[in-house]
Amino acid sequence: MLTKESVQFLDDLNANNNRDWFAANKKRYDVFKKDYQQLVAAFLDIMKPLDPSLEMLEVKNCTFRINRDIRFSKDKSPYKSHLGIWLSSGAKGKNRAGYYVHIERGASFIAGGFYAPLPEDLKKIRKEIAFFYEDLETIIQDQTFQKEFGSFSRTDKSTLKNPPRGYDKDHPALDLLKLKSFEVLQEFDFTEITQKDFAANKCKKLILLQPLNEFLNRAVTADQEV
């Protein structure tokens, strides 16, 4: 859980997103940062025994800097007024599927899968789907999975209009092969973050995504196996 003081800090930062205010509230940020790290540690303590691929993760591997990258953004606000937790077995510089928690007033959610894989990884995932689509369909059509997460997020940007190059329009898994991103999510109420059982409740749902993550990671690491 996050303390009410940390929640208030995020709200105040959202209303005063500038360097002068941040400098004047540096002590509040230090308290918030510690609170953030403790929340990440709570997620790791629960998830590691459930998913051994996360065993080597430390808190520092799962957090994000509060500074925004504003080089190519029209929004020049220097700081993030939300926080995220990313749990993934991927080594530094290697994208992998994983679990994500996004905490933001009015836009909080948990998610999992592989967001916008690079072209090389996308080819590998499509190849895996082409040959083993029944495995993936079993995962995403599971009754509990469907109840909690529904289906993959689909937008015009994340879905091809036509079959990807090299795949027949009559392929039985064409809808999956057209995807350019493979993530599912579930929204939750921002107020839940102050509840003592927040991490435990979200981990119960996140671990449902383990088979999906394993399928996607199997695809992108297949050529690394001996």
Using an 8 Å Cβ cutoff, are 81 and 14 in contact? yes
Check residue 222 and give its pLDDT: 80
Check residue 93 and give its pLDDT: 57
Check residue 176 and give its pLDDT: 98
Beta-carbon contacts of 2 under 8 Å, excluding residues fewer than 6 positions away, are 35, 36, 39, 103, 193, 194, 198
Check residue 103 and give its pLDDT: 98
Check residue 225 and give its pLDDT: 47
Beta-carbon contacts of 49 under 8 Å, excluding residues fewer than 6 positions away, are none
- Residues in the chain predicted with pLDDT less than 70, given as ranges, are 91-93, 223-226
- Domains in the chain, start-ordered, CATH in brackets? 4-224 (3.30.930)
Check residue 224 and give its pLDDT: 55
Using an 8 Å Cβ cutoff, are 110 and 186 in contact? yes
